Amino acid sequence: MTEEQKINVSVFNWGPCVIKLKIVDEFKKLLIDEGKKTTRDFRNKLAGILDNEKGYDEEAKKKVLPYMSQYLGIYDQMYQKYVLKPYEKRPEYVISALWVNYQKQHEFNPPHDHDGKLSFVVYLQIPEELKKEHKAFTGKSCGPGGIQFIYGDGPRDCVTYQSFFPEEGDMYIFPAWLKHWVAPYKSDVTRISVSGNVHDSAPLNAIQSFGPAYLKNKK
């Protein structure tokens, strides 16, 4: 093929923007330490088939803000590149919910989505026994302890899901409406993760609760 015969081809983005990054160690320690302090049972707000899911308090959310502001800023940058279009107005985020999940043997999260604009999950503890179980898995699903994001109902030649087996320190940020699920496992261990929801404006029924964090984040 000559130079004159070459064809320019564009490959279009399709589906939601999901990003993965590594959090810094001090943020990981903060989430672990604050998670140990909380006694607020969060299970009635969640879809998970887990016995131990605890909500962080407002003080913990304030401590989390400096880190999350940075990571949400990274998401914004990647999102604009993903859709090939800059924001007309930059989002102003509010952390509307934050909770820690202590997933144990045979527990799981069924397919579900979240409230808000964006959601995130951070992995704090992945036991060695679980890593070995996942490595030995031979099926086609996301495997023991894996997470799978699901989008669309297209035929087999369409990309309708993304599967991951997370490592400690991994963070995934994704649209809150994106359905996802977490597989159970057989190992008698506890996997620890932290999840959160982010609104791009303060919910009317939460202005008093989230106002201080919102105003602090705007400075």
Domains of the chain: 16-218 (2.60.120.620)
What's the CA angle centered on 63, arms 61 and 65, to 5 degrees?
70
Question: What is the DSSP code (8-state) at residue 57?
Answer: -
More reliable by pLDDT, 5 or 100:
100
- Residues near 180 by Cβ (< 8 Å), separated by ≥ 6? 109, 111, 112, 113, 147, 148, 149, 150, 174
**What tokens does 21 get?**
């990054």
Mean pLDDT in residue range 37-56: 97
**Whole-angstrom Cα distance, residue 140 to residue 113?**
22
Q: What's residue 6's pLDDT?
A: 76
pTM of the model: 0.88
Cβ-in-10-Å burial (0-12, 13-18, 19+) of 91 comes to middle
64 and 72 in contact (C-beta within 8 Å)? no
Q: Residue 107 phi/psi, 5° resolution?
A: -80, 160
98 and 194 in contact (C-beta within 8 Å)? yes
**Confidence check: pLDDT of 1 > 70:** no
Distances (CA, A) of 185 to 12, 106, 143, 168, 218: 37, 5, 8, 17, 42
214: left (phi over 0), alpha (psi -120 to 50) or beta: alpha
Per-residue confidence at 8, pLDDT binned at 50, 70, 90?
Answer: confident
Q: How confident is the prediction for the chain on average, in pLDDT?
A: 89
**What tokens does 14 get?**
């399709």
197 and 97 in contact (C-beta within 8 Å)? yes
Which of 57, 64, 46 shows the shortest CA–CA distance to 101?
A: 46
The amino acid that residue 126 corresponds to is: I
What pairing do the DSSP bridges indicate for beta strands 109-112 and 179-182? Answer: antiparallel
Q: What's residue 207's pLDDT?
A: 40
